Chains A and B, each alone.
Chain A
Amino acid sequence: MYDLIQKVSGELYIKALKNVPSDVLAAIKSAYENEGSENGKMVLRTILENIDVARQHDMLVCQDTGTPVYCVMVGEDVDLNFGKLYKAISKGVSEVTKKYNLRPNMVDPLTRVSRGDNVGNRVPIVHVEYDERLISSIRIVCVPKGSGSENQSFLRMLSPAEGLRGVVSFIIESVITGINKACPPVIVGVGIGGTFDECAWLAKKAATMRRIDVHHPDPKIRVLEEKLLKSINETGIGPMGLGGRITALAVNVEVADTHISQLPVAVNTQCWKGQRAEAIISDGFEVRYIL
């Protein structure tokens, strides 16, 4: 099974770089229809042309091969050894990096020295989560996280007294501060609650791992997502920050319970191409890719 996970992890990495997920592509097409500014329209037309060219020539959509981030969701009946799982994913990333001559991005944070194959000290980043719906299956999501959007990440430990106003005010402020450098129209991921680290992970998961054509199941979070999207698109920042109507393709919000004395909020952005690929491995051998 770990050989299969290795193969699938590598495949997901290259698929995420070459393909734009169907929900994201649909959102870009609709953004093109709805954009009013001349610059914005030109940007979105170029983006759509680029996606076509990448497909025709079997090329990467964007040059940033990202930080390899994986989330492995497992059902209750799956026996999984984390050490073997981690090694399998790591080998998959390294192999594909070499096979396709992918740009090596990962370096030591202080010496800036690269190992050359996009794995190393705590890379790939692998999250393991339990999902009761999966039963005997494993779902692997791969997000090669581009840096333009990752650098536009914000977290604040608010006081509960700041309440809803504090939360939305921080989100809008974050968007206005940084979104023009994140390749808009972006997907905005928001985490509310949890602890410092959990909140950041919720924002990352919201921005990168969840489809953008489904809302949060909680009706009040759904309304929050809709209102935030409308508001962000009123800022006028527009495609590539050059001015226009469509600044975000979607806003996804994830929440977790938090401590009585805390109110953490985090914002993570994902660039327009929403690079993401996922697969479900059923009963240890059957693989289905979802792109």
Chain B
Amino acid sequence: MVYVLETPLHEYDVRKLSVGDIVYLNGIIVGMRDATQRRIVDKGVDPPLDLRGHVVLHTAPNARKVGERWEKICIGTTTSARMEKYTPILIEKYGIRAVVGKGGLLEKSLRAMKEHGAVYLAIVGGAAALETLQIEEIEEVYWEDLFPECLWVFRVRNFGPLVVAMDSHGNNIYEEVISRAKMKQSEIVERLVADLTTLLER
């Protein structure tokens, strides 16, 4: 299924999504990553805006400040794995409904998504030129001292395609793909050894 969703999201918006669905977003999304989330979770500083219902994008943009305004240069998405430590807290305590990232998150985040109603949306990593055009404007920037890892508020239009890779029903595409690969691992290695042994004999 393909969904076009308006942000901020409600619980029913995300509960209807299943892994493999495609999503496009319109509205506001909030950019943050390592340093931003360290400040919120490790330092215990509440974010300067209410995150309830918001979509979090794992990003640190190329941007420049002209007068009081921030201009986008290139905005793309980083690997989410480093944010595994913080995501369950952002879901439980601050009520975010979706994370947009690449490479996926782990068990604790998946559990929080199931319990509280949130999803992980996989973007195509590295496709930042496209992403930059889908971001209409940088609306607000908080915590500029953390540049480029500030807390960014973007207005987006047709932001996607995003694949629902972890849903609120306990499914995780990455986990499924990796466990299938692990099942094939020894067979792949044995075949390689058989194919190559004669080649490398001296």
B62-92 contacts to A (CB < 8 Å): 62-64, 73-79, 81
Query: Considering the chains assembled together, what is the distance between the CA atoms of A39 and B181 in angstroms?
Result: 17
Interface window among A2-10, A122-130, A168-176, A276-284: A168-176
Q: A101-B64, A148-B102, A164-B196 are in contact. Are A176 and B182 (CB under 8 A)?
A: yes
Q: B128's contact among A60, A223, A228, A238, by CB below 8 Å, is which?
A: A60
A142-197 contacts to B (CB < 8 Å): 146-148, 151, 164-165, 168-169, 172-173, 176, 180-183
| A57 pairs with B177, CB closer than 8 A | no
Query: Considering the chains assembled together, what is the distance between the CA atoms of A234 and B198 in angstroms?
Result: 22
| B180 pairs with A236, CB closer than 8 A | yes
Query: Considering the chains assembled together, what is the distance between the CA atoms of A15 and B62 in angstroms?
Result: 16
Query: Considering the chains assembled together, what is the distance between the CA atoms of A183 and B81 in angstroms?
Result: 13
Query: Considering the chains assembled together, what is the distance between the CA atoms of A107 and B74 in angstroms?
Result: 20
CB-based nearest A residue for B59: A63
| A61 pairs with B126, CB closer than 8 A | yes
* Chain A: interface residue total (CB-CB under 8 A): 57
Query: Considering the chains assembled together, what is the distance between the CA atoms of A62 and B74 in angstroms?
Result: 7
Query: Considering the chains assembled together, what is the distance between the CA atoms of A57 and B62 in angstroms?
Result: 15
Q: B126's contact among A50, A53, A100, A164, by CB below 8 Å, is which?
A: A50
Interface window among A68-76, A77-85, A239-247, A257-265: A239-247
Tell me which residues across on chain A come within 8 A of B182, comparing CB atoms.
176
Q: B184's contact among A60, A147, A164, A236, by CB below 8 Å, is which?
A: A236
Tell me which residues across on chain A come within 8 A of B133, comparing CB atoms.
53, 57
Query: Considering the chains assembled together, what is the distance between the CA atoms of A49 and B102 in angstroms?
Result: 18
Q: Give the total number of A-B pairs whose CB atoms are below 8 A apart.
A: 172
CB-based nearest B residue for A173: B185
For residue B45, CB closer than 8 A to chain A, the reply is: no
| A53 pairs with B129, CB closer than 8 A | yes
| B195 pairs with A227, CB closer than 8 A | yes
For residue A204, CB closer than 8 A to chain B, the reply is: no
For residue A115, CB closer than 8 A to chain B, the reply is: no
| B196 pairs with A223, CB closer than 8 A | yes
Q: A237's contact among B59, B62, B122, B178, by CB below 8 Å, is which?
A: B178
Interface window among A40-48, A88-96, A209-217: A40-48
Query: Considering the chains assembled together, what is the distance between the CA atoms of A64 and B133 in angstroms?
Result: 16
Q: A112's contact among B20, B35, B173, B191, by CB below 8 Å, is which?
A: B35
Chain A's nearest CB lies how many Å from the CB of B47? 20
Tell me which residues across on chain B come within 8 A of A53, comparing CB atoms.
129-130, 133
Tell me which residues across on chain B come within 8 A of A272, comparing CB atoms.
126
| A61 pairs with B192, CB closer than 8 A | no
A11-33 contacts to B (CB < 8 Å): none
Tell me which residues across on chain B come within 8 A of A243, comparing CB atoms.
173, 176-177
CB-based nearest A residue for B22: A42
CB-based nearest A residue for B173: A242
Q: A59-B132, A63-B128, A101-B73 are in contact. Are A240 and B192 (CB under 8 A)?
A: no
Q: A63-B61, A103-B61 are in contact. Are A235 and B75 (CB under 8 A)?
A: no
For residue A120, CB closer than 8 A to chain B, the reply is: no
**Residue interface mask B181-193, A partner, CB < 8 A = 1:** 1101100110111
For residue A224, CB closer than 8 A to chain B, the reply is: yes
| A172 pairs with B185, CB closer than 8 A | yes
Q: Could you list 9 examples of A-B contacts with CB < 8 Å?
A: A51-B129, A60-B128, A63-B62, A63-B74, A168-B196, A172-B188, A176-B178, A220-B200, A236-B184
**Given A62-B127, A180-B104, A224-B199, 6 extra CB contacts under 8 A:** A47-B124, A64-B126, A164-B193, A183-B125, A183-B126, A241-B174
Which 3 residue pairs of A and B lie closest in terms of their CB atoms, listed nearest first? A63-B76, A181-B103, A54-B129
